[in-house]
Amino acid sequence: MSKSRVYDLAKELNINSKELVVILQSMDIPVKNHMSALTEQQEKYFRNNFKQDGVAVAAKEEEKPIEKKVAPAEKKEAPKTSGKGPVKKTTGNASGSTPAATTEKKAPSGPPKKDGKRDNRKTNKKKRVITPVAIDNSKKEKKSRAIYKKKRQDDGTEVDIIPIPTSLTVGDFAAKINVPSTEIIKKLIGLGIMASINQEIDYETAEVVATELDVVIELEDVEEEVAEILSQVEDVEEDESKKIHRAPVITVMGHVDHGKTSLLDAIRKTGVAEKEAGGITQHIGAYTVKANGENITFIDTPGHEAFTAMRYRGASITDIAVLVVAADDGVMPQTVEAINHAKAAKVPIIVAINKIDKPEANPDRVKQELTEYNLVAEEWGGDTICVPVSAKTQEGLDTLLEMILLVSEVQELKANPDRLAKGTVLEAKLDKGRGPVSTVLINAGTLKVGDPVVSGIAYGKIRAMINDKGKKVKTAGPSTPVEILGLNEVPEAGEEFYAVTDDKTARQIAEKRKSYIKDQRVKKSAPLSLDDLYNQIKQGEVQDINIIIKGDVQGSVEALRQSLEKLSNEEVRVNIIHAGAGGISESDVMLAAASNGIIIGFNVRPNNNVTAAAERESVDIRLYRVIYDAIESIEKAMKGMLAPEFKEVVLGTAEVRQTFKVPNAGTIAGCYVTNGKISRNSSIRVIRDDVVIFEGKLDSLKRFKDDAKEVAQGYECGIGVERFNDIKEGDILEAFTMEEVART
């Protein structure tokens, strides 16, 4: 029997698919969009609990056995499910509850052999439960929840806020705000605009007219408009029967030096060797390998930077995250970060325990450490697949690929190749000779040379396509990465990409987006900021305060996490989306931006790149030296009492290039001013590996032998720090002063 899709159900109940998605999510049924399929049990649960006009919608069918996919042998072992709710995972020692898209299917075969390989996938008895874990704060999803906004007026009554596109005809405008068009034409004449009913007016004009008519409008999300245009180009709710299997898309993540690059290289070589010995692969940001006759696509940009950049733009192209953990090093801060990223994106994790060729390798320790993050290895009774591998000797790589195929099989990844292509930009750059060059991953449909395309505000016609093997190709189907030429601008990584029927549509969409960005610039909703937190809470804009904590030692990070979580009240919830020891990284900033969160640094400092990224993404970073201060300021911000009296102003930074011992003066640091300036009366912070190790006063500042009042960027100087002699080469000295800020 075929499963029900959200849109089928919506059609039956005569409600909007989007609304139904929100309803289902609120019932803890993990659906993503109108195309998501419901299991019989989920559907039944929904029907039993969803009341339309006060009456529960009758269940379509008789009750059925819950897990239809479980083979008879498996059924005996499957834990009994109550049937009261959507299938949920129950893991032995899992501490957090996880609303889960639970799927089960044929599992890999029985006891793994010593080398980590399995005998035969098909005959295993154990039920496999794949559980993407849920924290999702992506901006896109938040937006989709706001179906209709209201504005409270001075007299207490509420009026609808009517969304209006960047431009529309007078007639359409009249219909949208429910005012006769003659009335609008009159108002326009009053403004000196002679417009007929079929003439287009822009948003700004519409806003003036609306104000005169006492109607509240707002700029409609341009993507709604774009979706409308695209749906005319191609029926979005397309025929399920046309969908066929597509290759899984994998992202490799893990701690620095645990072997992401080596693993990606090793896999690429295996895959190529199998298919076309000696074939040269080209770096285009992703590649496809063959394993057991099936394709697997790897995103070739290791690290979570790429991953978060994607998610920030609302793209979720990864089907499975491979978490690389070195067997000789164990779970490290970036491992935890990677786990949190994958969880936030609800992507299942396969653990590759790497470097098992090393004598000091200890895979069991890795598994033990992973349990702290809710990843319990299958062989320990959990549901996390852990594969011991060596990127160096290639051991275990086949098993890893096999496991990837297995998990992807459960996900039932499908796409219709027979439609206009839709994809995601992985990388893009401006090539001097070839113009904008972008690598796109096709999500659905088939992209062809000559297709008119649009991605963000870039558009054009596909001039040429090159695959990951460096070959020119004429077409590219689902899950295929290709490099494309022909766009008029460089699109952004993570941007969606569409082929459309004609050049005009492509240009029209790009231009609508451009004018939306222009209009939007003024009206952009404020990113989360402590200074304005209280107002944002009051206006109902903030219900969750998403926080990332970075600190010098794990102990204080944990302490801070626990205290901050306790600040949650019935109005707002404090969510620690990531916490770890170490400096603040750009990836933290991306995660904060993607989750509309703020970053709290405890005894750590962001470096220049991080500060620049935070500025660019409007992410609020707060730095503290005392745990109590951090807690207090969040608490005060929540109550609207945060009024900083002093603000720290960073004057500049200098890098220590050499150190000298000077009798009577202690250690003097020979520095190069990399940023801003260092002045004689500034305070000084000594930073090593992004961690503050000392804070105090500047003792001496010299240019050659002479005392200097200040030294600017690009110059060398000698710096002595009062009561601190442990300066080392490579340290960063940050000069700052405290400036008084008037209370507002």
Ligand X SMILES: Nc1nc2c(ncn2[C@@H]2O[C@H](COP(=O)(O)OP(=O)(O)OP(=O)(O)O)[C@@H](O)[C@H]2O)c(=O)[nH]1
300 is annotated as contributing to ligand binding: yes
Nearer to ligand X by C-beta: 88 or 392?
392
In the complex, minimum distance from the CB of residue 284 to ligand X, in angstroms, rounded to a whole number: 18
In the complex, minimum distance from the CB of residue 393 to ligand X, in angstroms, rounded to a whole number: 7
Q: Is 675:734 a contact under the CB 8 Å cutoff?
A: no
Nearer to ligand X by C-beta: 77 or 257?
257
Q: Which residues of 452-481 are buried (b: 16+ CB within 10 A; e: fewer)?
A: bbbbbbbbbbbeebbbbbeeebeebbbbbb
Nearer to ligand X by C-beta: 354 or 408?
354
159 is annotated as contributing to ligand binding: no
255 is annotated as contributing to ligand binding: yes
In the complex, minimum distance from the CB of residue 256 to ligand X, in angstroms, rounded to a whole number: 4
> Whole-angstrom Cα distance, residue 182 to residue 171?
9
Nearer to ligand X by C-beta: 267 or 673?
267
Give the CA distances from residue 393 to residues 37, 334, 516, in Å, rounded to whole numbers and listed in that order: 41, 24, 53
Nearer to ligand X by C-beta: 390 or 438?
390
> Whole-angstrom Cα distance, residue 172 to residue 515?
19
> Whole-angstrom Cα distance, residue 548 to residue 580?
8
Q: Is 158:194 a contact under the CB 8 Å cutoff?
A: no
Alpha-carbon torsion (20, 545, 313, 42), positive or negative: negative
166 is annotated as contributing to ligand binding: no
In the complex, minimum distance from the CB of residue 402 to ligand X, in angstroms, rounded to a whole number: 18
Nearer to ligand X by C-beta: 166 or 335?
335
In the complex, minimum distance from the CB of residue 552 to ligand X, in angstroms, rounded to a whole number: 22
> Whole-angstrom Cα distance, residue 126 to residue 74?
7
State the DSSP string of 509-575. HHHHHHHHHHHHHHHPPPPP-GGGHHHHHHTTS-SEEEEEEEESSHHHHHHHHHHHHTT--SS-EEE
Nearer to ligand X by C-beta: 263 or 671?
263
256 is annotated as contributing to ligand binding: yes
In the complex, minimum distance from the CB of residue 384 to ligand X, in angstroms, rounded to a whole number: 20
In the complex, minimum distance from the CB of residue 386 to ligand X, in angstroms, rounded to a whole number: 15
Helix (H, G, I), strand (E, B) or coil at 87: coil
328 is annotated as contributing to ligand binding: no
Task: Count the alpha carbons within 13 Å of 169 in the hemisphere toward its beta carbon.
Answer: 8
Give the CA distances from residue 407 to residues 9, 73, 124, 348, 401, in Å, rounded to whole numbers and listed in that order: 27, 20, 14, 8, 10
In the complex, minimum distance from the CB of residue 332 to ligand X, in angstroms, rounded to a whole number: 11
**Long-range contacts made by residues 176-180, C-beta under 8 angstroms, separation at least 24?**
177/210, 177/213, 177/215, 177/217, 179/213, 179/215
Query: 498 pairs with which residues across the strands?
Result: 422, 454
Q: How far apart are the first and last CA of the chain?
A: 64
Nearer to ligand X by C-beta: 205 or 585?
585
In the complex, minimum distance from the CB of residue 357 to ligand X, in angstroms, rounded to a whole number: 5
Nearer to ligand X by C-beta: 262 or 667?
262
Residue in the structure block whose two tokens are 């807690």: 631
Nearer to ligand X by C-beta: 89 or 392?
392
Task: Count the alpha carbons within 13 Å of 619 in the hemisphere toward its beta carbon.
Answer: 32
Nearer to ligand X by C-beta: 327 or 482?
327
In the complex, minimum distance from the CB of residue 263 to ligand X, in angstroms, rounded to a whole number: 7
In the complex, minimum distance from the CB of residue 79 to ligand X, in angstroms, rounded to a whole number: 37
In the complex, minimum distance from the CB of residue 428 to ligand X, in angstroms, rounded to a whole number: 21
Angle at 106 between CA 102 and CA 110, to 5 degrees: 115
281 is annotated as contributing to ligand binding: no
In the complex, minimum distance from the CB of residue 335 to ligand X, in angstroms, rounded to a whole number: 11
**Long-range contacts made by residues 269-275, C-beta under 8 angstroms, separation at least 24?**
269/394, 270/394, 270/397, 270/398, 270/401, 271/296, 272/469
> Whole-angstrom Cα distance, residue 680 to residue 686?
16
In the complex, minimum distance from the CB of residue 274 to ligand X, in angstroms, rounded to a whole number: 20
> According to DSSP H, which parts of 436-499 are helical?
none
254 is annotated as contributing to ligand binding: yes
What does residue 51 show for φ and ψ, rounded to 5 degrees?
Answer: -105, 125
356 is annotated as contributing to ligand binding: yes
Q: Is 530:597 a contact under the CB 8 Å cutoff?
A: no
Nearer to ligand X by C-beta: 261 or 679?
261
> Whole-angstrom Cα distance, residue 8 to residue 34?
9
Alpha-carbon torsion (203, 208, 211, 213), positive or negative: negative
Binding site for ligand X (CB under 6 A): 254, 256-262, 302, 354-355, 357-358, 390-392
578 is annotated as contributing to ligand binding: no
DSSP single-letter state for residue 384: B
> Whole-angstrom Cα distance, residue 345 to residue 56?
33
Nearer to ligand X by C-beta: 346 or 355?
355
> Whole-angstrom Cα distance, residue 44 to residue 56?
11
355 is annotated as contributing to ligand binding: yes
> Whole-angstrom Cα distance, residue 259 to residue 479?
25
In the complex, minimum distance from the CB of residue 356 to ligand X, in angstroms, rounded to a whole number: 7
Token code pair at residue 56:
């529960």
357 is annotated as contributing to ligand binding: yes
Nearer to ligand X by C-beta: 18 or 392?
392
Longest dimension (CA), the chain: 91
293 is annotated as contributing to ligand binding: no
Nearer to ligand X by C-beta: 266 or 671?
266
Q: Is 113:398 a contact under the CB 8 Å cutoff?
A: no
Give the residue ranges of the annotated binding site for GTP: 254-261, 300-304, 354-357
Give the residue ranges of the annotated binding site: 254-261, 300-304, 354-357
